[in-house]
Structure 1
Amino acid sequence: MTTPTPTVAVSDRLIPIDGGRLYVKDWTPETAGALPPILLFHDSLGSVDLWRSFPALLAARTGRRVVAYDRLGFGRSDPHPGRLAPGFVAAEARTVLPTLLDRLGIGAFVACGHSVGGGMAVETAAHLPARCRALVTIAAQAFVEDRTLEGIRVAKRDFQDPDQFARLVKYHGDRARWVLDAWTESWLSPAFADWSLDAALAKIRCPVLALHGDCDEYGSSDHPARIAAGRGTVRMLPDTGHIPHRECEDELVEAIGGFLSRV
């Protein structure tokens, strides 16, 4: 007999933090109970809306509340006050997440991030070890790799096409140029060349699942291997590029759900 899919309640709000308000959306299944919620960190061009159907499906399949938010400057959050500093990945964990979690009434949680959001999830797990119960990275980068930089250079050229750029405007409005530059110019800057997650990874104490597409155009399998080394498991997703939650949503949700059921 097929298990009925639980009803998932959806809500959203703006949460004030230092520097502006963050747009936050919740998906809470009726079966959530006291399980630690899953906090989603979006990628460099991402937003809550660009997760599409993934959060609702993840909530239904895992029986956990799922929370996603737009970082300052992205999606429906307030504008970012300036340029991203080279340490922006770690800064998100140290300056934004403690306030955001407290204002959402979240104690223990699961950190789950896509691409650079995966790096932010790692930094958050390292910064809040007593509260982070598990860490999931999806197509995350752990260091600056030539493949990553070349992929960004190609994307930067592609976004010169007005039709391509219009896709960003759809989700980020008049801040689309800031969003694009925040990604390309941060990663391509010489000041970012030595960035890595190594220091944060050394502090991880929770179970780790590193998911990565075997056709990811922004990073080789060296990234999930470094993230999970001595800490957890790598799962390579076959015939998958950089956006698994769009390319193989069911397989991704199954992998995360199976991992969390064992935590």
Structure 2
Amino acid sequence: MNTRLQLRGMTIEVQHLASAHPAPDAPPLIFLHEGLGSISMWRDFPQRVADATGCAAVVYSRHGYGQSTPLSAPRDVRYMHEEALSMLPALLDALDIEKPFLLGHSDGGSISLIHAGGAGRELSGVIVMAPHVFVEEVALSNIRLADEAYRMGDLRSRLARHHRDVDSAFRGWNDIWLHPAFRDWNIEGYLPAISCPILAIQGEDDEYGTMEQLERIALGARDVELVKLADCRHSPHKDQPEAVIASIASFVADLLNN
């Protein structure tokens, strides 16, 4: 079921998915998409995860994405902090959700980690796929290529199917990542305060980050399980869906059964 939530003067697109095999008293999974993502770009992955884990899924398009309110101004360097520490808590309160699992991809993974370490709220667990905790040149190089593909190739037309305002979605991500002030962005300081278990998944062929991202999460946080996938790029849930879903289902089952 898709709904529209009025939140802090903005319309936020939200999707609620029930599990085909609901687990008693299981908390929901909150899905946080990548820097160019939306509800529709997850495709059937949230439903598959809900069915495999027994948890209901709540999927939403952040401000500037999908059918949510487009941006009215350029993003700030701390846009992921704002989402993690202000917008996400407001959304959880509006939906009366307590102690959820967070499942984030790329920017969504970073937002999940900031929320877990800085929002002061209890979580059942955090699952991150290809998260960023610091900025690497490999990411910036490929974000520059994405800008070229958007201006000169077919990336704009492909993204336009998923976003109410495709320029808002793309420029809001691309421009701030390539801003000189973003080069020093780093969220490692949030990791020691994360009290819940973390499952961190990354592809060995990730074009936006090296395995140093996962290694720093394991070094900084107290309870981390790493999954490194061969033959997998920046979107593990698309390149290796079976392995990813199996890892998530095992992680969630262990926590629900303890």
Name the counterpart of 1:113. 104
The separation in 1 between residues aligned to 2:36 and 2:238, in whole angstroms, is: 15
2:126 matches 1:123:
no
* Aligned-pair CA distance for 1:129: 4.4
Partner of 2:243: 251
Q: Could you list the runs of 4 or more consecutive aligned residues of structure 1 that deviate by over 6 angstroms after TM superposition?
A: none
Which stretch shifts more, 115-124 or 25-34?
25-34
8 Å Cα contact 2:134/2:213 also seen in 1: yes
Q: Deviation of residue 165 (structure 1)?
A: 1.1
Measure how far apart 1:164 and its partner are: 2.1
Aligned equivalent of 2:135, options 144, 150, 156 = 144
Q: What amino acid is the match of 1:201? A: L
Q: For structure 1, which runs of at least 5 residues remain unmatched after alignment?
A: 1-10
Partners of 1:129 and 1:206 within 8 A in 2: no
In 1, the alpha carbon distance for the partners of 2:97 and 2:156 equals: 36
Is this contact kept in 1: 2:101–2:125, CA < 8 A? yes
Partner of 1:86: 77
> Percentage identity across aligned positions?
31
Matched, 1:164 2:187: no
Partner of 1:17: 7
Q: State the match for 1:41 in structure 2.
A: 32
In 2: Cα distance, 1:33 partner to 1:129 partner = 26
Moved more, 228-237 or 13-22: 228-237
Deviation (angstroms), 1:116:
0.8
Q: Give the Cα separation in 2 of the matches to 1:159 and 1:83.
A: 18
* Bigger mean CA deviation after superposition, 159-168 or 54-63: 159-168
Name the aligned partner's letter for residue 77 of structure 2.
Answer: P
- List runs of 5+ in structure 2 lacking aligned partners: none
TM-score, with structure 2 as normaliser: 0.94
Q: How does 1:1-263 map to 2 (within 5 A)?
A: 11-29=1-19, 31-173=22-164, 175-229=165-219, 230-263=222-255
CA deviations on 1:25-50 (whole Å, 9 max, x unpaired) are 01112524311111111011000110
SS in 2 for 1:45: coil
| Residues 181-190 or 24-33, more deviating | 24-33
Q: Secondary structure at the match of 1:143?
A: coil
Distance 2:9 2:244 in 1: 34
* Count of aligned pairs between the two proteins: 252
